[in-house]
């Protein structure tokens, strides 16, 4: 996936360039700036001294010295006051200018911290949204692997109510792998979700779909065919779909070009979220790729929770996945 959100210490990232959230002097500081200078060693400061500082919203590049990264791109984020002093535009410019510099230096992999979201006080969830929006737009036109590195959980705060709701949903649905399935059976005509025996009888009586031909046709179609017909049905363009799913253009063309292509489960789920499919449609799409939402997998249950609520906001989904220590969509 071209854009990944990871939890890590950016000084440990072995990428072509890491981005530093610096101040206008470029002479070091605390936070990620301090960590990068500490890990890079004195050579970095010596080179920074030759740059003559950097304006807010702009970016300058140096070597990486003792860091695993080849370059450090220093950018200066805005100090957040109230969101009415052009902070968003300046923050967007930090990402845009840094990506342009990375491209100029033929970087294939770049890692960003959440610029301005520490000492400079930019609310972390809004800082993340700016980062994802600017990077995603860039990636639609450019080939690069970009990481957003989240250092502390505070970056993903989740409302108490949402956390409790999801916790209850998990408790109601989570079954560990060793549950005795003799009491559970899967209804043949329903999505492959485990049902109690009572549900099994109900399903058997389930009337066949009205438009039998269309349903029979859909049963035969492959994952790739279902994806393409859903894109048309939703009135989306290919690019809107794969960008919203955070899938790169190369992978999408592979899927489009191979009627029997079998994607990974996270990729199939990412498309279901992007297309805002219902739970049944999601189960159908997953089934065509050989998967099912499993109730012995917290990640799946959280995805199921959001789809059942009709909430396809990838940020809120990632906040929840992060809060429950699960890997993130688009990651
Ligand atoms: N790896 C990744 N992210 C980190 C790390 C790290 N090692 N250390 C801190 N962060 C995160 C913080 O949690 C925060 O989310 O980086 C984000 C940016 O926080 P700051 O480093 O405080 O940067 P910023 O808010 O842009 O303030 C810049 O702080 O350090 C000084 O010299 C710097 O004056 C400048 C100001």
pLDDT at 229: 93
**Which residue, by CA, sits nearest to atom 10 of ligand 1?**
32
- Which residue has 């609520």 as its token pair? 309
- The CA 52 to ligand 1 mean position distance, Å, reads 21
In ligand 1, the atom with minimum distance to the C-alpha of 10 is: 1
The finding on whether 24 has its CB within 6 A of some atom of ligand 1 is no
Q: Is the pTM of this model over 0.85?
A: no
Which of 16, 33, 248, 300 is catalytic? The answer is 33
Assign 3-class secondary structure to the chain: CCEEEEECCHHHCCCCEEEEEECCCCCCCCHHHHHHHHHHCHHHHHHHCCCCCCCCCCEEEEECCCCCCCEEEEEECCCCCCCCCCHHHHHHHHHHHHHHHHHHCCCCEEEECCCCCCCCCCCHHHHHHHHHHHHHHHHHHCCCEEEEEECCHHHCCCCHHHHHHHHHHHHHHCCCCCCCHHHEECCCCCCCCCEEHHHHHHHHCCCCCCCHHHHHHHHHCCHHHHHHHHHHHCCCCHHHHHHHCCCCHHHHHHHHHCCCCCCCHHHHHHHHHHCCCCHHHHHHHHHHCCCCCCCCCHHHHHHHHHHHCCCCCHHHHHHHHHHCCCCCCCC
Which residue, by CA, sits nearest to atom 34 of ligand 1?
Answer: 23
Residue nearest to atom 8 of ligand 1 (CA): 32
Examine the residue annotation and report whether 180 is marked as an active-site residue of this protein. Answer: no
Q: Is 6 in the pocket of ligand 1 (CB under 6 A)?
A: no
Indicate which residue's Cα is closest to atom 18 of ligand 1. Answer: 118
The predicted structure's pLDDT at residue 6: 83
Structure tokens at 294: 């499993």
Sheet strand arrangement including 145-150: 3-7, 145-150, 109-112, 17-22, 71-76, 59-63
Atom of ligand 1 nearest to the CA of 121: 25
Q: How far is the CA of 307 from the centre of ligand 1 (A)?
A: 34
Average pLDDT, 10 consecutive residues per value, the chain (331 residues) = 84 97 96 96 97 98 98 98 96 98 98 96 87 88 90 65 78 66 34 35 45 63 93 93 84 92 91 95 93 91 93 80 78 47
Q: Please, which residues bridge with residue 76 across strands? A: 22
Query: Is the minimum distance from the CB of 108 to ligand 1 under 6 angstroms?
Result: no
The residues near 93 (Cβ < 8 Å, ≥ 6 apart) are 57, 58
Q: Which ligand 1 atom sits nearest the alpha carbon of residue 31?
A: 21
What residue ranges define each of the domains in the chain, with the CATH number in brackets? 3-157 (3.40.220.10), 161-177+211-323 (no CATH)
């Amino acid at each position: 996936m071209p854009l990944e959100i990871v939890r890590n210490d950016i000084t440990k990232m072995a990428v072509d360039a890491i981005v530093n959230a610096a101040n206008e002097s470029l002479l070091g500081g605390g936070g990620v700036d301090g960590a990068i200078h500490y890990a890079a060693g004195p050579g970095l400061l010596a080179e920074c001294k030759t740059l003559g500082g950097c304006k807010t919203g702009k970016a300058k590049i140096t070597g990486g010295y003792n860091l695993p990264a080849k370059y450090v791109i220093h950018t200066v984020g805005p100090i957040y006051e109230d969101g009415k002093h052009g902070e968003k535009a300046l923050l967007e410019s930090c990402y845009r200018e840094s990506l342009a510099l990375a491209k100029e230096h033929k970087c294939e992999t770049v890692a960003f911290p959440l610029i301005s979201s520490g000492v400079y006080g930019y609310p972390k969830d809004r800082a993340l949204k700016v980062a994802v929006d600017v990077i995603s737009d860039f990636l639609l036109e450019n080939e690069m692997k970009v990481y957003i590195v989240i250092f502390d959980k505070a970056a993903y705060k989740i409302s108490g109510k949402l956390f409790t709701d999801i916790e209850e949903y998990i408790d109601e649905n989570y079954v560990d792998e060793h549950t005795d399935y003799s009491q559970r059976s899967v209804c043949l005509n329903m999505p492959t979700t485990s049902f109690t025996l009572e549900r099994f009888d109900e399903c058997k009586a389930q009337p066949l779909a009205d438009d039998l031909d269309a349903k029979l046709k859909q049963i035969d179609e492959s994952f790739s065919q279902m994806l393409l017909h859903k894109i048309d049905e939703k009135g989306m363009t290919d690019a809107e779909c794969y960008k919203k799913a955070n899938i790169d253009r190369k992978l999408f063309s592979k899927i489009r070009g191979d009627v029997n292509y079998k994607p990974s489960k996270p990729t199939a789920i990412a498309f279901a979220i992007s297309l805002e499919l219902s739970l049944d449609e999601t189960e159908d799409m997953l089934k065509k790729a050989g998967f099912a939402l499993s109730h012995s997998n917290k990640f799946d249950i959280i995805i199921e929770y959001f789809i059942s609520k009709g909430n396809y906001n990838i940020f809120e989904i990632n906040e929840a996945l992060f809060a429950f220590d699960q890997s993130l969509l688009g990651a």
